[in-house]
Amino acid sequence: MVPFILLILIIGSVLFHLYTPWYSTPIASNWGSIDSTIELTFWMTGIVYILVLGFMTYCVIKFKNTKNRKADYEPESKKAEVILTVLTTIGVAGLLAPGLIVWDDYVSPPEEAMPIEAMGQQWYWNFRLPGEDGILGTTDARNISADNPFGMNENDPNGKDDILIEGDTLHLEHDKPVKFLLRSIDVLHNFYVPQFRAKMDLVPGMVTFYWIKPTVTGNYEILCAELCGVGHHAMRGEVQVDNTNDYQDWLNDQLTFEAIQEQAMLDREEKLAFNKSN
């Protein structure tokens, strides 16, 4: 029965891969090369999987137990070691080389890519976009407070016109490259949109990055793909890819850091005046 079980395992695994869309979602960015790299990995590892199990099946049939056969003891085989080393080296190189090429492109954003900061914290996402100057202001974790959740440096003029999106949907313009700057203010997170084929860890104390160009308009879910605490399962967000007109309409409705500061000051003054009057 063992050879039949091995054959069923081989055939079943191949059919499962070919006829079930278990690993892929519709792509909505420029990273089709990542899909190609994954497919190459499946093909190479799949062929090795079939060859190994096929060889096991052959051995079980060819060298089955009989009264007239005695097992040979060969603890070492230099020929087999050389062949396996060469084949393994070729296989590893074949798996790594395409991935390294794609990775180099993945972390080399074009000059026209707009920087957008995605800030993760337990357990939601905040976003920061540059204003008319196209430059994000500097931040410092020591500045983070209830009135300044992004830790903005108030004396940095480049940050005055930054657009702050706190716990809300991020909008992107269709077919325009974006460079995501990723930072965490507490623990390790991971910014992942399956349809974009793009993900990266957010490491406390440093800024990681990658770039994409959204190619399909629509709404997509943002996931945290790194276990970050008891609320990890609920750390979700939304990104919406708009056409140019809709994106500009949304952008015009957002508040800048300077406007938020002014509103916070007015609220404090009103509260102070109310307390004095009572």
**Same domain for 144 and 14?**
no
Q: Which of 41-45, 142-146, 233-237, 274-278 is predicted with the least confidence, judged by mean pLDDT?
A: 274-278
- Can you give the residue range of the structural domain that contains 191? 114-269
Token pair recorded at residue 120: 């993760």
Tell me the Cα Rg of the chain: 27
**Same domain for 100 and 237?**
no
**Same domain for 119 and 199?**
yes
Cis peptide bond N-terminal to 123, omega within 30:
yes
Counting the structural domains of the chain, the total is: 2
Token pair recorded at residue 83: 């062949």
What value does the mean pLDDT take over residues 222-246?
94
Domain-embedded: residue 276:
no
**Same domain for 37 and 133?**
no
Residue 59 binned pLDDT confidence (cut-offs 50, 70, 90): confident
Q: pLDDT tens for residues 255-268?
A: 888 888 887 777 66
The structure tokens 């790299």 sit at 37
**Is 150:114 a contact under the CB 8 Å cutoff?**
no
Q: What is the pTM of this model?
A: 0.82
Domain-embedded: residue 278:
no
**Same domain for 227 and 120?**
yes
pLDDT value of position 22: 65
Domain-embedded: residue 211:
yes
**Is 112:132 a contact under the CB 8 Å cutoff?**
no
Domain-embedded: residue 204:
yes
Domain-embedded: residue 277:
no
User: Across all residues in the chain, what is the average pLDDT?
Assistant: 89
pLDDT value of position 18: 82
Domain-embedded: residue 157:
yes
**Same domain for 195 and 60?**
no
CATH of the domain at 204: 2.60.40.420
The structure tokens 């190479």 sit at 44
* Residue percentage of the chain with pLDDT more than 70: 96
Q: Is 198 left (phi over 0), alpha (psi -120 to 50) or beta?
A: beta
Q: pLDDT tens for residues 210-233?
A: 999 999 999 999 999 999 999 999
Angle formed by the axes of helices 32-62 and 2-19, nearest 10°: 170
Q: pLDDT tens for residues 97-124?
A: 999 999 999 999 999 999 999 999 999 9
